Structure 1
Amino acid sequence: MTVKKAQPYINGEWISQERETISIRSPYSGEVIGEQVLATTSDVENALASAYAAKKEIAKIPAYERAKILKRAAALLEQEKERFAQLISLELGKPLKNTLDEVSRSIETLELSGEEAKRLMGETLPGDASERGTKAIAATFRVPVGVVAAVTPFNAPLNLVCHKVGPAFAAGNSVILKPAPQTALIATELLRLLLEAGLPESAVNVVLGGVEIGQQIVKDDRINVISFTGGVVAARNICELANMKKVLLELGGNAATIVHEDADLKRAATMCARTGFSNSGQSCISVQRIYVHQAVVPAFTERLKEEVLKLKIGDPLLPDTDVGTLVDTSAAKRIMEWINESVNLGATLICGGKQHGATVEPTILLNPPKNSKVVCQEVFGPIVSIIPYESIEEAIEETNDSSFGLQAGLFTNQMDLAYKVAHSLEVGGVVINGTSNFRLDHWPYGGVKNSGIGREGPRYAIEDMTETKMIVLQLPINE
């Protein structure tokens, strides 16, 4: 196997000389698949200086040209779909069927960003709504903020970079990107593709490294907007360091899906199995807490177990694999500790609960106590918990009894009940007759409480990556 190299890209140059390197290993096989070149503090300073110096140049690129570049990138990614999907599977352990879907979504995200580049619209505002403004008129314009810092996670390493770089460039900003250390190869390959599509060399700087590198970026005053996807602890640290900057946070969740007594149990069980364990549950909106009406708990539990046992565990590069690995063995070890804790506290293990290297078998827990980590914290792993409830009010209350509020699902055939629940849940999105784990890339995506600030989706991200400028014309006063 050819060893690939992930490198920082700073001021139009790939950096590799006289830098510390670390090996990149497949979480499934353990073999070395690449090498990551780590940026120094001097590299980060050069990247910040480059991004800041380029912001006026990037802002001057006409919207139609920015749109063309992003759409060319989408077309190139379509041609390279298989290669990119295989690289994600190799680097992350995410099954190929999931990574092919991620590449398709990334293509769509780049296309959407290109379309939105042409929609940076303002409005005209007559002054005569005020007595003092009878001889004035104003117009508003969306203008770039300047420099966007994009800090991305490992779980969707291609699409979430596209969700930050695409809208930022569409809006006319320069970008400094810090991808997750676990998935630096795919970020490097995406940048090569963007450059091939015509992205100006000065439009994006990429730095590779750990927490210290990220902290150096977010506290720098040359950054105008920080767009971060990750965990709450890191987000709080970013907010403390950011000072007077706009901060966009897409954080985690312990997503709930409610299965009411009138629900189609086969549909609910099938969808919970499919969306609770894709990417080994490493998704912010992965099904985690399943609140099931007590009248149908036995039937639903049996159906869910049947569906989960059908999932094929194995090599993420094989086309029929449903469940690959977690990001590394440390993550798998943590998941096992959480499973064991819940069982010790009284939960019933329905299936799964075994570790094989970086893989944990899809696990169903029945009735874990609400103070167990699998209920009250973000699992980010292949565990779902079935929790009985008596009334829909109880299900709403338990769903809302969380520090998170990203998305939720609801299965019911009662329209009035669906309306009631959807408006009562304290989350950013509710999926009716679907699970929490459903997202389209042109929709506004984000949460409340500890699940974040702001919304993703090119149209909505661009709103936060631009400023409103007003230009006022005062007309002569007639004598």
Structure 2
Amino acid sequence: MGADGWERLAENALLAFGMWSGTSRLVRRRLLEAWLEALAPVRELLAQEMTRETGKPITLARGEVGRAEATLKATFEAVASFGEESVPYDLMAGADGCRATFRRFPLGPVLAITPFNFPVNLAMHKLAPALSVGCSVIWKPCPQAPRTSQLLWESFEAARLRVAAPDHLLQLAGSDPVRAEALARDPRIAGVSFTGSERVGRHLEQVLAGKRLLLELGGNGAVVVDEGVDATAVAGHLAPAAVAGAGQSCSKAQRIYVHGRLWDAFVPAFVAAVKALPVGDPLDPATAVGPVIDEATAIRMDASLDRAVAAGAEVLLRGVRQGALLPPAILTGVPEDDPLQCEEAFAPVTVLTRVDTFETGLDRAAATRFGLRASAYSRDLRHLHLAESKLRAGGVLLNLPPTFRLDAAPFGGVAASGNGFEGPRWAMEGFTEGRLIVQGPAL
């Protein structure tokens, strides 16, 4: 995209917003329904392109396209109940004869910035809710999957033409980060929704002060495993949550704290479960663990394993890197200040730590600046209730892996993991602003 193209994005978005923001919920729902229909003939092509560009195993890529369709459907279903609620002024003293509603209005043109690890579904989690409430959208997708993004955008354009929605309602921006930041600063852009690294997110907070900013910045997902659970069953839950898709999920199981009485049963079960997941060619439907996004990332993560071992960690499982293919690694005895414990790995690397009590595990799991997802496994209801209060995260999963997600449900983080929630109904709130409308009696 040339300089002229970037310059026109905000102007076009503002014009489209002027035409789209006043449309009815019925019209917006029809657009999303048409988009769902337009996706059907390109499902497999989207999955194939995603695998070729990002290395995501084809089975997971097909699943992601299916999830994007579910996200789109959940969005247009949420449209019917979103946007206006009655306020009971007739129950309030001093409001005789008044009627009131709390209504939500579209924020304006918004910029959506999406990452490579879920290039279709995470895009849909921003684009569909924003469009559904009356915003126009400029979409800056990840540079690693240009064909996938183009194909998704083309499916939207087919839907837009079918229902005669305004031109430039959803615009596809280039990958230039400097121009993207200038666009985010543009006063015509009312809000920015960003999913990506903590470093970039914190930079956006500084340069976009005062502007609506929704952030999902990743995490270093912790899991606490209590005594008394079925070690083999829990290991089977957590293995794909730790390494499937090369561990490139912000909610992956990265730190697993295991009660000492379960340690001897859990460790071999977990290692076996991870080893059972096929590693290799992402186009092979049997593959669960493919390459990371590029060779430089694989080299960096391989070096981080070397550093952890040099600092005293014990290797329970590790393979030999081949280009961008980094086989799953499992370590124990990793120092608490090691990056594999306190940063986001975003790779098929898992740290196991033995703890004396379940509560100690909760304390250590919570000792992080991140707060996206955390899990606890126990058969003791008191322990599960304790986990609810002690695990500070946007999502606390009980007897489920941290990666468990239903796309119609809220998803977001606290602390260094961001602010705001996605999931269609909750994302719609982020793309709107509320107004209390009060009507008094005629005078």
Q: Taking structure 1 as the reference length, what is the TM-score of the superposition?
A: 0.89
Take 2:13 and 2:83, find their aligned partners in 1: how far apart are those partners? Answer: 25
Q: Are residues 1:156 and 2:122 paired?
A: no
Aligned partners of 1:151 and 1:214 also within 8 Å:
no
Q: Are residues 1:445 and 2:411 paired?
A: yes
Secondary structure, counterpart of 2:112 in structure 1: strand
Take 2:226 and 2:93, find their aligned partners in 1: how far apart are those partners? Answer: 57
Query: Can you list the C-alpha shifts for 1:313-369, whole angstroms capped at 9, x where unaligned?
Result: 111111111111101011101111111111111111111242110010011111211
Which residue of structure 1 aligns with residue 371 of structure 2? Answer: 405
Secondary structure, counterpart of 1:442 in structure 2: coil
Take 1:214 and 1:152, find their aligned partners in 2: how far apart are those partners? Answer: 12
Take 2:318 and 2:56, find their aligned partners in 1: how far apart are those partners? Answer: 19
Take 1:40 and 1:469, find their aligned partners in 2: how far apart are those partners? Answer: 39
Which residue of structure 2 aligns with residue 341 of structure 1? Answer: 307
Q: Are residues 1:111 and 2:77 paired?
A: no
Take 1:258 and 1:120, find their aligned partners in 2: how far apart are those partners? Answer: 37
Aligned partners of 2:225 and 2:358 also within 8 Å:
no
Aligned partners of 2:407 and 2:423 also within 8 Å:
yes
Which residue of structure 2 aligns with residue 231 of structure 1? Answer: 197
Take 2:285 and 2:90, find their aligned partners in 1: how far apart are those partners? Answer: 64
Q: Are residues 1:470 and 2:436 paired?
A: yes
Match of 2:17 among 52, 55, 74: 55
Segment of structure 1 superposing worse, 355-364 or 212-221: 212-221
Q: Which has the higher helix share?
A: 2
Query: Can you list the C-alpha shifts for 1:39-98, whole angstroms capped at 9, x where unaligned?
Result: 234322211110012111011232112112212222332332221111110110000111
Segment of structure 1 superposing worse, 456-465 or 307-316: 307-316
User: What does residue range 429-440 of structure 1 map to in structure 2 within 5 Å?
Assistant: 429-440=395-406
Letter in 1 for 2:86: T
Which residue of structure 2 aligns with residue 211 of structure 1? Answer: 177
Distance 1:102 1:474, change over 3 A: same
Distance 1:255 1:58, change over 3 A: same
User: What does residue range 388-399 of structure 1 map to in structure 2 within 5 Å?
Assistant: 388-399=354-365
1:289: Cα distance to partner?
A: 0.2
Which residue of structure 2 aligns with residue 251 of structure 1? Answer: 217
Instruction: Tell me the C-alpha RMSD between the 2 structures.
Output: 1.5
Take 1:158 and 1:353, find their aligned partners in 2: how far apart are those partners? Answer: 30
Aligned partners of 1:366 and 1:387 also within 8 Å:
yes
Query: Can you list the C-alpha shifts for 1:182-204, whole angstroms capped at 9, x where unaligned?
Result: 11221110010011122633211
Q: Are residues 1:284 and 2:250 paired?
A: yes
Aligned partners of 1:184 and 1:208 also within 8 Å:
no
Q: Are residues 1:76 and 2:38 paired?
A: yes
Match of 2:298 among 311, 317, 332: 332
Match of 1:188 among 128, 139, 150: 150
Q: Which runs of 5+ in 1 are unaligned?
A: 1-38
Match of 2:2 among 33, 40, 51: 40
Take 1:83 and 1:459, find their aligned partners in 2: how far apart are those partners? Answer: 29
Aligned partners of 1:259 and 1:293 also within 8 Å:
yes
Secondary structure, counterpart of 2:81 in structure 1: coil
Which residue of structure 1 aligns with residue 234 of structure 2? Answer: 268
Take 1:216 and 1:181, find their aligned partners in 2: how far apart are those partners? Answer: 17
Letter in 2 for 1:447: G
1:221: Cα distance to partner?
A: 0.9
Q: Are residues 1:142 and 2:104 paired?
A: yes
1:127: Cα distance to partner?
A: 4.1
Aligned partners of 1:120 and 1:141 also within 8 Å:
no
Which residue of structure 2 aligns with residue 15 of structure 1? Answer: none
Aligned partners of 1:253 and 1:284 also within 8 Å:
yes
Secondary structure, counterpart of 1:356 in structure 2: coil
Letter in 2 for 1:77: L
Q: Which runs of 5+ in 2 are unaligned?
A: none
Aligned partners of 1:146 and 1:173 also within 8 Å:
yes
Take 1:367 and 1:68, find their aligned partners in 2: how far apart are those partners? Answer: 55
Segment of structure 1 superposing worse, 279-288 or 131-140: 131-140
Which residue of structure 2 aligns with residue 30 of structure 1? Answer: none
Take 2:239 and 2:92, find their aligned partners in 1: how far apart are those partners? Answer: 59
Q: How many residues are aligned here?
A: 439
Take 2:390 and 2:375, find their aligned partners in 1: how far apart are those partners? Answer: 13
1:123: Cα distance to partner?
A: 2.4
Take 2:330 and 2:317, find their aligned partners in 1: how far apart are those partners? Answer: 6
Q: Are residues 1:102 and 2:64 paired?
A: yes
1:405: Cα distance to partner?
A: 0.7
Aligned partners of 1:139 and 1:472 also within 8 Å:
yes
Take 1:309 and 1:129, find their aligned partners in 2: how far apart are those partners? Answer: 63
1:244: Cα distance to partner?
A: 2.1
Take 1:223 and 1:115, find their aligned partners in 2: how far apart are those partners? Answer: 27
Aligned partners of 1:74 and 1:108 also within 8 Å:
no
Taking only the aligned residue pairs, the percentage that are identical comes to: 32
Letter in 1 for 2:294: D
Which residue of structure 2 aligns with residue 125 of structure 1? Answer: 87
Which residue of structure 1 aligns with residue 278 of structure 2? Answer: 312
Q: Taking structure 2 as the reference length, what is the TM-score of the superposition?
A: 0.96
Which residue of structure 2 aligns with residue 21 of structure 1? Answer: none
Q: Are residues 1:86 and 2:51 paired?
A: no
